[in-house]
């Protein structure tokens, strides 16, 4: 069945370091792909999305490219800030269903 697998955490980075959180998907069709972010004490917020192959989603300095050939949607940011500390969820939507990864906790230290 359809599923999303993302990198295990937790991840700890120093401020201004580069971030990559890996995400791969399995799908019977052509899913839309998402990254959601959950800040401490809050609900999940949509960070970015891509709806077809080779699309790049971007927001707040984060970006991810929909790679059909590798079934991946890795989240990247060139220079993280303390305020980026949160849990990040990769997700897909296909066949009227949403599928979520288990989340990756990111802590950025000054």
Out of 45, 79, 81, 83, which residue is the one contacting other proteins (CB under 8 A)? 45
71 makes contact with other proteins (CB under 8 A): no
Count of CB atoms within 10 A of residue 106's CB? Answer: 20
Q: Is 60 left (phi over 0), alpha (psi -120 to 50) or beta?
A: left
Residue 32 binds other proteins (CB under 8 A): yes
- DSSP state letter for 83: G
Least distance to other proteins, CB of residue 110, Å = 25
Q: Does residue 12 bind other proteins (CB under 8 A)?
A: no
Least distance between other proteins and beta carbon 102 (Å): 4
Residue 37 beta carbon to other proteins: minimum distance, rounded to whole angstroms: 11
User: Cα–chain-centroid distance for residue 47?
Assistant: 8
CA distances from 6 to 45, 50, 99 (A): 17, 17, 12
Binding site for other proteins (CB under 8 A): 32, 34, 36, 42-46, 49, 51, 89, 91, 93, 96, 98, 100-103
């Amino acid at each position: 069945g359809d599923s999303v697998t993302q990198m295990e955490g937790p991840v700890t980075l120093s401020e201004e370091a580069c971030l990559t959180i890996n995400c791969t998907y399995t799908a019977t069709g052509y899913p839309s792909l998402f990254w959601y972010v959950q800040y401490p004490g809050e609900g999940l917020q949509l960070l970015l999305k891509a709806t077809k192959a080779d699309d790049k989603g971007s927001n707040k300095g984060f970006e991810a490219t929909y790679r059909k050939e590798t079934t991946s949607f890795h989240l990247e940011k060139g220079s993280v800030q303390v305020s980026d500390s949160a849990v990040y969820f990769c997700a897909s939507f296909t066949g009227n269903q949403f599928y979520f990864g288990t989340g990756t906790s990111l802590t950025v230290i000054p």
